[in-house]
Amino acid sequence: MTMGAEIASGFQSIGIIGAGQMGSGIAQVCAAAGLRVYLNDVSDEKINSGIGRITKSLQKRRDAGKITDEQVDKLLSAIVSTPKLRAFEQCDLVIEAATEDEATKRKIFGGVYPFLNPTTVLATNTSSISITRLATATDRPQRFIGIHFMNPVPTMKLVEVIRGLATDQTTYDATAKFVAALGKLITTSEDYPGFIVNRVLIPMINEAVYALYEGVGSIQSIDDSLRLGANHPMGPLQLADFIGLDTCLSIMQVLHEGLADSKYRPCPLLVKHVEAGWLGVKTGRGFYDYASGAPVPLR
């Protein structure tokens, strides 16, 4: 398939590297848009876990009367488990959705690009890392772009698109068309640390952690203040647990290193939580304890 044909008809087959919360969510919305999806991770167990997450999400929609059993089956049949990267040679677009760690992402790109068609667009779902820098780990910086989905992907409408220094207009136009086909709204960010959403959001979360660290208020008081006083749907500390405290810390470190401003210094309490393995919802404990099913503040 030529690049021109891709743009005329839109991306038809999508490869996704990483079957975690973000990767499985991206796979679900791509399948819902009628696209063929190839889902990869480091093990069959992780891929199966991702498929299970998608199945559970679709069954919830079915139980709510939003889709039928037939639609559930059709969507699941559009997602192919792909333990080998070689299967991506038939994809028009490949999206990396691995952990927010630059070394890991660079290793993934170095491993996958030799298997890709020369016209395939390669993208990253990074929420903060330089697109220009990641593109240097590939053979196609002009066809490399940032496509940052929000979590949870099936329900969040926004997608940030970030061009690297070398990203060409053809790649951007094809990506914008792809995002629109998913029923999402696009914002375009320049390639600066944290882009738009996390440049504003994560320092707010970090400041909330500082407020807790310094004894300004309890977890409940801080979260209630932002929910009720600023009309936020979720308090910043509970949101941090939902995002993952390790992800929040990684983004703060990117901001601190990339912008060299002390106002982006990660709060020591955030660092301690990550060191303890208290990462939020995914580990059952963060600023809240989730053992009972309902979040219980720990301070």
Look at residue 288 and give its three-state secondary structure: strand
Nearest to 1 by CA among 112, 121, 117: 117
Q: At what angle do helices 245-259 and 268-276 cross, to 10 degrees?
A: 140
Residues 153, 250, single domain; the answer is no
> Is the same domain home to 183 and 254?
no
Cα angle 147-18-64, degrees, rounded to a multiple of 5 = 80
Domain boundary (189, 208, 236) is at: 189
For residue 251, give the CATH number of its domain: 1.10.1040.10
160 catalytic residue (yes or no): yes
Q: Is residue 52 part of a domain?
A: yes
Backbone angles phi, psi at 13, to 5 degrees: -125, 130
> What's the mean per-residue pLDDT of the chain?
94
19 plus 153 within the same structural domain:
yes
Q: Which of 53, 57, 63, 12 is nearest to 33 (CA)?
A: 12
Spell out where 101-196 has E strands.
121-124, 144-149, 158-163, 185-189
Q: Furthest-apart CA pair in the chain: how many Å? A: 60
Are 143 and 246 within one domain?
no
- Report CA-CA distances (Å) from 207 to 192, 200, 210, 248: 21, 11, 5, 12
Q: Quick check: 2 pLDDT over 50?
A: no
∠ CA 275-273-217, rounded to 5°: 155
The model's pLDDT over 204-237, given as tens digits with 9 standing for 90+, comes to 999 999 999 999 999 999 999 999 999 999 999 9
Instruction: Answer with the one of 189, 210, 235 that is the final residue of a domain.
Output: 189
| pLDDT given for residue 9 in this prediction | 44
Q: What is the mean pLDDT of residues 115-132?
A: 96
Whether 220 and 158 share a structural domain: no
For residue 203, pLDDT beyond 50 = yes
Read off φ and ψ for residue 290, nearest 5 degrees.
-110, 15
- Tokens found for residue 291: 């053992």
Among residues 13, 24, 40, 127, the one annotated as catalytic is 127
In angstroms, the CA 103 to CA 100 distance is: 9
User: Which residues, other chains included, contact 156 with Cβ-Cβ below 8 Å and sequence gap of 6+?
Assistant: 149, 150
Say whether both 211 and 129 belong to one domain: no
Q: Which of 13, 198, 206, 250 is catalytic?
A: 198
DSSP 263: G
Residues 149 and 277 in one domain: no
Q: Is 182 a member of any domain?
A: yes
Q: How many CB atoms lie within 10 A of CB 110?
A: 12
Q: Evaluate whether residue 292 is within a structural domain.
A: no
| 8 A C-beta contact, residue 108 and residue 98 | yes
Verify that 161 and 22 share a domain, yes or no: yes
Same domain, 151 and 215: no
**Annotation says 127 is catalytic:** yes
197: nearest Cα among 257, 260, 125: 125
In a shared domain, residues 30 and 141: yes
Together in a domain, 80 and 14 = yes
Is 198 labeled as catalytic in the residue annotation?
Answer: yes
- Which domain range does residue 29 map to? 3-189
Considering 148, 206, 250, 256, which one is annotated as catalytic? Answer: 148
Q: How far apart are CA 266 and CA 49, in angstroms?
A: 32
CA dist 68 and 63 (Å) reads: 9
Read off the pLDDT band of 10 (50, 70, 90): confident
- What distance in Å separates the CA atoms of residue 65 and residue 202, rounded to the nearest whole number? 35
Q: How many domains does the chain have?
A: 2
Tokens 């707010």 -> residue? 204
Nearest to 168 by CA among 142, 132, 191: 142
- CA-based nearest residue to 285, from 269, 270, 273: 273
Tell me what the mean pLDDT of segment 260-284 comes to.
97
The position carrying tokens 């690049």 is 3
**What is the rounded distance in angstroms from the CA atom of residue 22 to the CA atom of residue 247?**
12
Catalytic residue among 6, 96, 100, 160: 160
* 8 Å CB contact between 168 and 197: no
pLDDT of 33-86, one tens digit each? Answer: 999 999 999 999 999 999 999 999 999 999 999 999 999 999 999 999 999 999
